Structure 1
Amino acid sequence: MHALHPLLSGFAPIWALTGVGYLVGRSGLLGPQAEAVLSRFVFHVAMPAALFLMIARTPLERFANASMLAFAAGTAFATGLGLLAGQFLFHRKPGELAIGGMAAGYVNSANLGIPVAMQVLGDASFVAAVVLLQILFVTPAVLAVLDGRGAGLRALLTLPLRNPILLATALGAVASATGLHLPAELNHSCELLGGAGVPTALVALGISLHNRPPADAGSRRAEVGLTVLVKTLVQPLAAYAVAAFVLHLPPHQLLTVVLFSALPTAQNVYVYSREYGQGTSLARDAVLWSTLVSMATLSVISWSLGSA
């Protein structure tokens, strides 16, 4: 029961805001284009503001440590399995492959990782390193595929100028490296915009649940099930293997790495899929089901490794 309270406190806002979105969709309060408009607001306005501030305020060298190496190994393994499954088992197109790989390995590090880390570990400092890894390395690779304008040098160099997420990431990295600070008024404006990102994304996710098209009888359910299995079980096991048997991390660092690796799929994956129209149903269902399943897996990890 030790792990139950922190998990419930972290998960409750996710379910509540998703439920609000479902009721909004069911009532038709915001009209038929509500999901699309809210998702575009998150992608083009709120999320870039939040990412810029988070990266600008975090030293870039923070992710260069043994714990992050173990976490990155688990992320790479899970993402690779998601890509292989999409390619050889479900025969998905490149954009869908990118979303499938992201859904299998991209963790909900901020709005769920922070409360769980604070109450299970007593320290949420690892969150910043995880966010940096995912935003600086995983996200650009996925968005480069989703952009769909070729892999030439010009396309790759101009991608940040065409994508608000990558532009905010690049500007945040420059600000972090140079020690640049925004004026207080502009900084506060970015904080307000960024703070709207997570709740708006969850409301949009909830709206998408209303009148969603039925999943394909076989392949779609199997793909969602396999993605959730990789995300909630395989990724933390892979991170554990690297952290315990290769890097020989001490118990507290081992718990930190495995706990963060077991976090469910981030709602960012759904936002990206909705923006580019690729793998939307997979992303939506992976976020929902991995969030539900992770309540059990996170409890087991907290109990077993926390006791050790």
Structure 2
Amino acid sequence: MGLLSALQGFCVIGIVIAVGYVAARLRIGGSTAQMVLNKFSFFVSSPCLMFAILSKEPIFDIFHPSIIVAFLSAVLVGAVFLALNRAFFHLKAADATIGALNSLYLNSNNIGLPIATYILGNPALVAPILVMQQALFTPVGLTVLDVTTKGKASAKEILTQPLHQPLLIGSLLGILVSAIKAWTGVFVVPNYIFDPIDMIGDSAVPMILMAFGMSLHGSKPLQQKGDRPAIFTVAVLKNIVMPVIAFLLAYFMMGFRGPELYACVVLAALPTGQNVYNYAARYEVGMQFARDGILLSTMTSPIFIAIVAVLLG
């Protein structure tokens, strides 16, 4: 029953993406609709979403030990892609960064939350991944994109990059509120302030998904033959290699068994997050590569999550 509910979650995601595609096909919102949705979700709604989620999470759930497995498996998979790129694909630095993010970045919001709820029975299990990705992988990835797209690097730009990331700022503020609540027992944000933030945050996921759907109109997936090997490699790394690495780390290094082990492997099998396309669009680099990688991993992820559920569930 839980597996069926999770697969229904994938269906929901697909419908929202399809709505974005149809809207673009009908030219609803004009030619700039996709760009507007991407920018608004990046600068406004997504930071609100991260604040709303993390501020309500118990601080010790946010920093669960499973974050070690998620971090190491993601780093290893990203490193494997970069090594393969250097040996075989020879993508430029910005495109290689998108490829690495496609390989390691989990869809922890719009797919991770329902899967954690319906299969794992605890939506808080995605909280460590949310923190890790927004506080570490996103700033690092966007810093590299900033530097590679501008053609220069400076210590000032690198050090101040986190200040330019609304997602990270929203996440850190949410963690701060959660920590204050754990210390004082009081949720310091009044409802008349939290409720509009939460309301705006609720728009982030559909905006990102519809913008992704809009990007599918007028372009055929996997049409750039030169990118196909890298795109298929991204899907294999994300949906097969990462769960295997997570299992080995969780079982042998962390000593996890039962539900903890199962949760680590299921979450590692999540598809690539649509956020990666959002970042590619923000810097106008590797957009088709990001879109195709996300689409392929999203289509194949339910199969591998089902296999994990059968083997470990």
> Normalized against structure 2, the TM-score is what?
0.90
1:122 is paired with a residue whose SS is coil
Of residues 293-302 and 213-222 in structure 1, the stretch that sits farther from structure 2 once superposed is 213-222
Output the aligned Cα RMSD: 2.1
Structure 1 residue 3: Cα displacement: 5.7
CA deviation digits over 1:145-198, x for unaligned, max 9? 122265533223322333322332343344444447333222111111110010
Matched letter for residue 291 of structure 1: T
Tell me which residue corresponds to 1:78: 77
Q: Distance in 2 between matches of 1:95 and 1:267?
A: 17
Structure 1 residue 49: Cα displacement: 1.1
1:18-33 to 2 correspondences below 5 Å: 18-33=17-32
1:125 is paired with a residue whose SS is helix
Tell me which residue corresponds to 1:210: 217
1:72-221 to 2 correspondences below 5 Å: 72-148=71-147, 151-179=153-181, 181-212=188-219, 215=222, 217-221=224-228
Q: Distance in 2 between matches of 1:230 and 1:284?
A: 16
> Normalized against structure 1, the TM-score is what?
0.91
Structure 1 residue 27: Cα displacement: 1.1
2:4 is paired with a residue whose SS is helix
Tell me which residue corresponds to 1:231: 238
CA deviation digits over 1:51-107, x for unaligned, max 9? 222333335554544422222221111121222233332222222222111110111
Matched letter for residue 288 of structure 1: L
The yes-or-no answer on 1:222 pairing with 2:229 is yes
Structure 1 residue 259: Cα displacement: 0.2
Matched letter for residue 77 of structure 1: L
Kept in 2: contact 1:60–1:132 (CA 8 A)? no
Kept in 2: contact 1:52–1:171 (CA 8 A)? yes
Structure 1 residue 38: Cα displacement: 1.0
Question: How has the CA–CA distance of structure 1 residues 162 and 57 changed in structure 2, closer, same or farther, with 3 Å as cutoff?
Answer: same
Q: Distance in 2 between matches of 1:195 and 1:170?
A: 18
CA deviation digits over 1:109-166, x for unaligned, max 9? 1221122222222222211122111111111111111222655332233223333223
Of residues 223-232 and 245-254 in structure 1, the stretch that sits farther from structure 2 once superposed is 245-254
Matched letter for residue 230 of structure 1: L
Tell me which residue corresponds to 1:303: 310
Q: Distance in 2 between matches of 1:138 and 1:234?
A: 19
Tell me which residue corresponds to 1:263: 270
Name the count of aligned residue pairs. Answer: 305
State percent identity of aligned pairs: 31
The yes-or-no answer on 1:248 pairing with 2:250 is no
